[in-house]
C-alpha cells in the first residue's frame, strides 16, 4: 500500500468521521448553552412535563427529553452541562439519560422502518412496533423509578420565573464563553479515544469479539438453524445483513414471520453491546467523562436488553 493510499484511507476512516463528530458535538454544545443562557429550559420541556412532574425530574431533564427528538448530542450535552453546574445530581443524570430512550428511538425510527420494510414486508411493522414498545416501556419505567428515587421538587418554577431574562447579546456572549471552555475538554477526550477505537477496529478487535459471541450461541438451541443464521449475521456483520437473510428466507417460505421477528429481536439484543462500545463510547466520553460515560452506557444497554427481551418474551408467548 502506497503512502498516498494510506493517507487517503486514514482520512476517510478516521479524519473526516472525527471532524464530523466534533462538529455535531460542538453544535449540540452551542445549542445547549444558548438555551440555558436564555433560560428557555422550562419552555422546551413541555413535551415531557406530565412524566417529569410525576417522576420528580427537573425541567432540565424535560428540556433534554424534548431536545432528544431532534439531536441526541444536544440532549446529552444539556445533561452534562447541568450535571457539571450541579443543577442535577448524578442519580438524576443517569435516570435522565435512560428517560430519553423514547425520543432517541424516534431519531432512528424512519431509517429502521425504511430499511426493514422492503426486506421483510409486513413483518417490519411488528418488529418496529415491538422495538418501539420497548422504548416506551423504558421511558415509563424510568419515570416510575424516578418517582421513588428522587425527592419531590418544590419551588423550581418560581425560581426560574424570578430569574431575569438575558438579552440576546448577553446570551450569545455567555454561550461562547462556556463553549470555548468546554470544547477544549471535549477535544482532549474525544480525539484520542475515537482514534484508539478506530485502530482497534482496523486491527479486527471488534470483529473478533463479534465472532466470539456468534460462536457461543448454544444456549439458543430453541431457535431453528435458519433463525440462528440470522442471529449470527446480525451479530457478526451488520443489521442489514441479518435483514437481507431474513427477507430471502421469508420470501421462499423457509421461515415464518414469527420466526423472523424472534430471530431479529434476539440478534438486536446480542449485537447492541459491542456496537454501543464501538460507536457510542467515543462520543459519550467527549460529552461526559470516560468513567461516567461507561456507567451511562452500561445502564442504558442493560435497560435496553431487559426491555427488548421482555417484548420478545411477550411476542413469543402471545404469537403461539
Residues 131-164: pLDDT tens digits? 999 999 999 999 999 999 999 876 555 445 545 5
Number of domains in the chain: 1
Per-residue pLDDT, 298: 93
Q: How far apart are CA 9 and CA 11, in angstroms?
A: 5
User: Which residues form the domain of 182?
Assistant: 3-318
Quote the CA–CA distance of 5 and 12 in Å, as a whole number: 10
Check pLDDT > 80 for residue 313: yes
CA distance 295 to 298: 5
Residues 6+ apart with CB under 8 A from 12: none
pLDDT above 90 for 307: yes
pLDDT number for residue 159? 47
- Cell numbers for 145, please give them: 423509578
User: Most confidently modeled of 104-108, 235-239, 250-254, 258-262?
Assistant: 258-262
293 has a pLDDT exceeding 80: yes
Amino acid at each position: 500500500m502506497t503512502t498516498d493510499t494510506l493517507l487517503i484511507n486514514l482520512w476517510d476512516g478516521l479524519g473526516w468521521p472525527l471532524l464530523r463528530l466534533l462538529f455535531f458535538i460542538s453544535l449540540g454544545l452551542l445549542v445547549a448553552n444558548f438555551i440555558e443562557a436564555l433560560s428557555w429550559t422550562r419552555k422546551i420541556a413541555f413535551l415531557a412535563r406530565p412524566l417529569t412532574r410525576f417522576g420528580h425530574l427537573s425541567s432540565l431533564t424535560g428540556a433534554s427529553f424534548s431536545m432528544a427528538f431532534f439531536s441526541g448530542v444536544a440532549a446529552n450535552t444539556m445533561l452534562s452541562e447541568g450535571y457539571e453546574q450541579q443543577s442535577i445530581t448524578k442519580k438524576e443524570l443517569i435516570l435522565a439519560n435512560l428517560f430519553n430512550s423514547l425520543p432517541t428511538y424516534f431519531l432512528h425510527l424512519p431509517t429502521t422502518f425504511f430499511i426493514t420494510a422492503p426486506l421483510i414486508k409486513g413483518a417490519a411493522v411488528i418488529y418496529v412496533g415491538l422495538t418501539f414498545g420497548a422504548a416506551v416501556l423504558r421511558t415509563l419505567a424510568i419515570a416510575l423509578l424516578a418517582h421513588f428515587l428522587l425527592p419531590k421538587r418544590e419551588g423550581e418554577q418560581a425560581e426560574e420565573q424570578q430569574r431575569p431574562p438575558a438579552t440576546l447579546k448577553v446570551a450569545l456572549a455567555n454561550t461562547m464563553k462556556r463553549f470555548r471552555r468546554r470544547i477544549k475538554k471535549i477535544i482532549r477526550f474525544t480525539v484520542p479515544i475515537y482514534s484508539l477505537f478506530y485502530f482497534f477496529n482496523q486491527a479486527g478487535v471488534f470483529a473478533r469479539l463479534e465472532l466470539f459471541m456468534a460462536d457461543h450461541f448454544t444456549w439458543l438451541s430453541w431457535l431453528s438453524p435458519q433463525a440462528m443464521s440470522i442471529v449470527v449475521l446480525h451479530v457478526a456483520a451488520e443489521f442489514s445483513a441479518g435483514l437481507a437473510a431474513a427477507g430471502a428466507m421469508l420470501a421462499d417460505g423457509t421461515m415464518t414471520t414469527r420466526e423472523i421477528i424472534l430471530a431479529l429481536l434476539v440478534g438486536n439484543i446480542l449485537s447492541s453491546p459491542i456496537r454501543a462500545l464501538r460507536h457510542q463510547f467515543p462520543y459519550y466520553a467527549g460529552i461526559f467523562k470516560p468513567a461516567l460515560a461507561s456507567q451511562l452506557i452500561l445502564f442504558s444497554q442493560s435497560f435496553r436488553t431487559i426491555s427488548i427481551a421482555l417484548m420478545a418474551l411477550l411476542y413469543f408467548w402471545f404469537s403461539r
